[in-house]
Amino acid sequence: MSSRKILITGGAGFIGAHAASRFLREGWQVGILDDFNDFYDPAIKEDNVAKLHGAAEIFRGDIRDTGVVKQAMNAGWDTVLHLAARAGVRPSIVDPGLYIETNVMGTFNVLEAARRAGVRRFLFASSSSVYGAEAQTPFRESAALVRTLSPYAATKIAGEQLCSSYAHLHGMRVVSLRFFTVYGPGQRTDLAIHKFTRALFEGLPIDQYGEGQTRRDYTYVDDIVQGVRAAADYEGPAYEVFNLGGSHTVSLSELIKKLEVATGREAIVRLCPEQPGDMPATWAEITKARELLGYAPDTTIDEGLAKFVHWYQTDRAV
């Protein structure tokens, strides 16, 4: 449907820029609301937006500012993809207040403005970290969200609950999407695959936290965006939660070995203590997303790492 209009908060960031490209390719009108903050080098976000060649309407502003959000929202969007957030577990332990202001109050501001503007569909970027220490692997959407391990995870749980209440009270169709460690071209510089690749090419040590046995369900960004796109057409209950993961796990030491292969370099591993707040393992059960969204991740970790390393060598902004 070429007439559909989507506002992507956080659209200048890693996942947002990929999502914006996909929606634009399909003929949607796309708006981006982003404050281009310096959580990582803002030149990367400027480059992400420049690569959209002026096709998206850009609103520069902070979701903590209700006036800014209201202004961006009042352009007749039928769908909102809410990605803007402070991401990352470890920095949320250092500055929990910033995470709560941005991810909880900011999400409230975006939901409230969307409701007032008559937005019909709202997609919320949640996270595998909501599952905490208690959930059994593979994680199912029905698991109780207890023993939460970080302020970041707590803000994502709060965001989901706000979404649920808005769907219930205001008839807005809302989908929370729990992303599992997303990687690919443009990946955030603070995440393991990006940090390790840089270290490998620069001959610097890789910090391995713990024994290397922690496991992650790494998910290629194009697969995530396929799930997001499908969620924009979802016609089920007013509120729904889906895992978007790759459904395969890799240990930290296996990841380092795979990156050695992908880069052709040998790693210098520096052993560091386990980090408080980190999940011991993440692993998505994706049957629900497969059945109800037609979600079908098909990028293997080896293919995805090869694509990431190619991008790192040929196309990164900084």
- Annotated catalytic residues are 152
188 sits near ligand NAD (criterion: CB under 6 A): yes
CB of 298 to ligand NAD, least distance (A): 18
HSE-CB at 246 with a 13 A cutoff on CA atoms is 23
Stretch that binds ligand NAD, among 77-85, 198-206, 257-265, 267-275 (CB under 6 A): 77-85
Please give the size of the binding site for ligand NAD, defined by CB under 6 A: 28
DSSP for 125-192? EEEGGGGTTTPPSSB-TTS---S---HHHHHHHHHHHHHHHHHHHH--EEEEEEE-SEESTT--TTSH
Give the three-state DSSP class for 58.
strand
d(CA 151, CA 149): 7
Listed ranges 60-68, 165-173, 206-214, 307-315: which one lies at the site for ligand NAD (CB under 6 A):
60-68
Residue 299 as a binder of ligand NAD (CB under 6 A): the answer is: no
C-beta of 218 vs 239, nearer to ligand NAD? 218
| Residue 272 in tokens | 């560091």
Q: Does 15 bind ligand NAD (CB under 6 A)?
A: yes
**Is residue 39 close enough to count as binding ligand NAD by CB under 6 A?**
yes
Hey, what amino acid is at 256?
I
Inter-axis angle of helices 66-73 and 106-117, nearest 10: 40
Q: Binding residue for ligand NAD (CB under 6 A) from 80, 114, 182, 301?
A: 182
- Rounded to whole angstroms, how far apart are CA atoms 146 and 241? 17
Segment interacting with ligand NAD, rule: CB under 6 A, options 35-43, 89-97, 109-117, 140-148: 35-43
Q: State how far the Cα of 244 lies from the Cα of 72, in Å rounded to an integer.
A: 28
Q: Give 125 or 172: the residue with its C-beta nearer to ligand NAD.
A: 125
Among 8, 30, 56, 63, binds ligand NAD (CB under 6 A): 63
Q: Give residues in contact with ligand NAD (CB under 6 A).
A: 10, 12-16, 34-37, 39, 45, 62-64, 83-87, 102, 106, 125, 127, 179, 181-182, 188
